[in-house]
Amino acid sequence: MIKLKGLHKSFGKIRAVRDLSAEIREGEVFGVVGTNGAGKSTLLRMIAGVLKPDKGEVFVDDKPVFENPQVKSDICFLPDTAFFLPNATPKLMAESYRVFYPEFDMRRFESLTSRIGLETGRKIRMFSKGMQKQVSVILGICTNTKYLLCDETFDGLDPVMRQAVKSIFAVELINRDFTPVIASHNLRELEDICDHVGLLHKGGILFSENLEDMKFHIQKVQCVIGDPVREEQLLKELSVMQYERRGSMMLLVAKGTRNEILERVNSKHPVFAEILPLSLEEIFISETEVAGYDVKNLLF
Ligand SMILES: Nc1ncnc2c1ncn2[C@@H]1O[C@H](COP(=O)(O)OP(=O)(O)OP(=O)(O)O)[C@@H](O)[C@H]1O
């Protein structure tokens, strides 16, 4: 488990991370989302132990991470701009990774690179940006470290490759002790891979939730009731987070389980009613609006 306790980090007058506390549970995919400059990279660098917090501490499996090589050997950090040795090939990079990470799985490296058609003997600098990202992710996965910190890792990957990386993560999560932390400014990129998402804003965590819990407790429903009195009653009875009208159709996002909401709606004898799937983005927008934030400005 990763525990972040009261982290602060400033660069001169810029307060990149302020009083940030959170927990990242083992075996979960944790997403850190936030706009450019929200403090995501700074946070990941502190978790990786390459940057010392001004105040507070990062504990990885109950041990402080900074200047602790033993703990750091359980963490692989993939920065947003991958570092490759000059003129290196993927094969050479894999060999140098093996020096730092004794558990590096060379066989898996060969199998993954061949599966996605990456030539391991070609110079990385001749690769496209997306291909360089692929090399970086594969190297990270093959380190076999328990924690993999990914900074904007899915950025620059095409949809097919993004899907491939997600599948690789899924296999790792099943087969070994693996906890990826993925930072992105794009909630849509995190939607189908993360179990838990923390929303970072101006260096602090605004919101940190398990996605299944969130989806279980919020529903989007569209219905036609056709009677203003019963419509009014429904709006009063539900804990409405968002409400919109399109002609006679009511479209609302409300707190409650699927059954609770349907029961309330059906008690108003609707002409038509259905529960619609909610995207992670809609959930975040609803939850944070209720908390008094205009999250649309924080996500895109
Ligand atoms: N080494 C540094 N020196 C000075 N300021 C820095 C440094 N690193 C980060 N900052 C500042 O700290 C703030 C947070 O930056 P950070 O890179 O952590 O944000 P981010 O959420 O990762 O942004 P992005 O999505 O653009 O990568 C920014 O205002 C940035 O300018």
| Complex confidence, ipTM | 0.96
Q: Is the pLDDT of residue 233 over 70?
A: yes
36 lines ligand 1 (CB under 6 A): yes
Q: Is the pLDDT of residue 94 over 70?
A: yes
pLDDT tens digit sequence for 38-47: 899 999 999 9
Bigger pLDDT: 269 or 130?
269
Atom of ligand 1 nearest to the CA of 42: 18
34/13 Cα distance (integer angstroms): 21
**Residue 208 maps to a domain:** no
Domain of residue 194 covers 2-202
Quote the pLDDT of residue 291. 60
265 lines ligand 1 (CB under 6 A): no
49/122 Cα distance (integer angstroms): 32
CATH of the domain at 134: 3.40.50.300
Q: How confident is the model at residue 32 (pLDDT cuts 50, 70, 90)?
A: very high
**Mean pLDDT across the stretch 162-176?**
88
Domain boundary, last residue among 202, 226, 241: 202
Shared domain for 95 and 147, answered yes or no, is yes
Shared domain for 107 and 49, answered yes or no, is yes
pTM of the model: 0.84
39 lines ligand 1 (CB under 6 A): yes
Shared domain for 172 and 236, answered yes or no, is no
Q: Is the pLDDT of residue 35 over 80?
A: no
Spacing, Cα 40 to ligand 1 middle (Å)? 8
CATH of the domain at 251: 3.30.70.100
Shared domain for 218 and 167, answered yes or no, is no
